[in-house]
Chain A
Amino acid sequence: MSLSGQRAGIAAPLTDGVSYAEPSMAGAGDYLALMKPRVMSLVVFTALAGLVVAPGPMHPVLAFFALVCIAVGAGAAGALNMWYDADIDAVMSRTSDRPVPAGRIRPGEALAFGLVLAGFSVVFLGLMINVLAAGLLAFTIFFYGVIYTMWLKRSTPQNIVIGGAAGAFPPMIGWAAATGGIGLESCLLFLIIFFWTPPHFWALSLYRCDDYFRANIPMLPVVSGEAETRRQILLYSLVLAPVGVAPWLLGTAGLVYGCIAMLGGAVMVVLALQLYRAPKGASEPVAKRLFGISIVYLFVLFAALLFERALGLAQFGLPFGRVVA
């Protein structure tokens, strides 16, 4: 007599054919990929900017430790995202080779890996640095893993607008790690990344529209069409440009930053305008250019903040706000 569900006329369980005694095929590189290292590097970079711009000294070892915790927390959020999104990752060409959909790491392993990393990063940031920074990190992981990944991503075209907050928190966490508080300046850094996210991701989704359609994800181009997406990209770029300059106007950053922010903001707006005016069906090259330039824009903006602090140029900020030496 066979106890097999199929032979007994019962629907086969999802685990049929999968042996849990099968040795893992995951290498260390697969676990690293699970942490989304490219996203992690941007998170670390923006958190470093928040940490450096914050007033008051912080011991380099403690600053490094805080950055490691933030990086691991970001990696945990990435692993939880890949665990939950394995089904849609499998049907998208950009993500089909990720460790979980490719079968190198089992979903349960990815979940456990993400939860352990999240726990460690939050607990040690709280124990060694401060509770506010740890709380913000925990909220960021929760926001990305639950609010964005499990809820918004599959339910609304505003997914990356609201979900973009998760990517905007790292400079605020860095600031909180250094000061134990949340200042206006850290809120400005938050806003820059928050308003940068829609033009960045919608530019990508314009030329990856088929992928999102196949995966049944309600990205703006899929739901509202190309024309509306281009209009929204232009609107967000128009908001992003002045927000990018705000740290200089309010005295948090110096003249070098101010000039770079004005130039970068102008480039973003011009590209968004070109994309808006591009003939229908011919927008892909402009969208790709905007996507690439948007990464450079954010990197240069935060690099300028770090550069100014390193050289002590931040005192040349405009007198609309207090001057931070």
Chain B
Amino acid sequence: MSFVMDPQPIEPGIVLTEEQKRRRRSRSIAIAVALFVFVVLIFAVTLVKGPGVLVRPL
């Protein structure tokens, strides 16, 4: 008795063009930069405001 199954046809799925890959990379880099800037900003503001970071005037 053999358990070898028939080979499934390999579907290529969505194949990105070079241009699509380039644009996806630019989006990924932009998201990374934005996240980094966001974290640095929040860190800096937290340092400036000290322990009362959430104590704010109206």
Please give the residue numbers on chain A whose beta carbons come within 8 Å of chain B beta carbons, in ascending order.
21, 23-29, 31-32, 59, 61-62, 64-65, 68, 124, 127-132, 180
29 A-B contact pairs sorted by A residue (CB < 8 Å): A21-B14, A23-B14, A24-B20, A25-B19, A25-B20, A26-B27, A27-B23, A27-B26, A28-B26, A28-B27, A28-B30, A31-B27, A31-B30, A32-B30, A59-B48, A61-B44, A61-B45, A61-B48, A62-B49, A65-B44, A65-B45, A127-B54, A127-B56, A128-B45, A128-B49, A128-B53, A130-B57, A131-B58, A180-B57
Query: Which of B26, B30, B45 has the most chain A CB within a 10 Å cutoff?
Result: B45
A65–B41 touching, CB < 8 Å: yes
B17-58: which have CB < 8 Å to A? Answer: 19-20, 22-24, 26-27, 29-30, 41-42, 44-45, 47-49, 53-54, 56-58
Q: Do A130 and B58 contact each other (CB < 8 Å), given the known contacts A23-B14, A59-B48?
A: yes
Other CB < 8 Å A-B pairs besides A23-B24, A25-B19, A129-B56, 20 of them?
A: A23-B14, A24-B24, A25-B20, A27-B22, A27-B27, A28-B27, A28-B29, A31-B27, A31-B30, A59-B48, A61-B44, A61-B48, A68-B41, A127-B56, A128-B42, A128-B45, A128-B56, A130-B57, A132-B58, A180-B57
Provide the bound-state CA to CA distance between A127 and B14, in Å.
42
Query: Which of A31, A32, A132 has the most chain B CB within a 10 Å cutoff?
Result: A31
Interface pairs A-B: 5 shortest CB-CB = A28-B30, A27-B23, A28-B26, A180-B57, A27-B26
Which residues of chain A come closer than 8 Å to B54, judged between CB atoms?
A: 127
A62–B26 touching, CB < 8 Å: no
Which residues of chain B come closer than 8 Å to A128, judged between CB atoms?
A: 42, 45, 49, 53, 56
Which residues of chain B come closer than 8 Å to A31, judged between CB atoms?
A: 27, 30
Tell me, yes or no, whether B16 is within 8 Å of chain A by CB.
Answer: yes
Which residues of chain B come closer than 8 Å to A61, judged between CB atoms?
A: 44-45, 47-48
Number of A-B contacts (CB under 8 A): 56
Which residues of chain A come closer than 8 Å to B27, judged between CB atoms?
A: 24, 26-28, 31
Which residues of chain A come closer than 8 Å to B14, judged between CB atoms?
A: 21, 23
**Nearest chain A residue, comparing its CB with the CB of B29:** A28
Which residues of chain A come closer than 8 Å to B23, judged between CB atoms?
A: 24-27
Provide the bound-state CA to CA distance between A32 and B31, in Å.
12
Which residues of chain A come closer than 8 Å to B58, judged between CB atoms?
A: 130-132, 180
A146 to chain B, nearest CB (A): 25
Provide the bound-state CA to CA distance between A130 and B45, in Å.
13
Q: Do A29 and B26 contact each other (CB < 8 Å), given the known contacts A23-B14, A23-B20, A132-B58?
A: yes
Which residues of chain A come closer than 8 Å to B42, judged between CB atoms?
A: 124, 128
**Nearest chain B residue, comparing its CB with the CB of A22:** B14
Which residues of chain B come closer than 8 Å to A27, judged between CB atoms?
A: 22-23, 26-27
Which residues of chain B come closer than 8 Å to A65, judged between CB atoms?
A: 41, 44-45
A119 to chain B, nearest CB (A): 13
Query: Which of B14, B19, B56 has the most chain A CB within a 10 Å cutoff?
Result: B56
B56–A131 touching, CB < 8 Å: yes
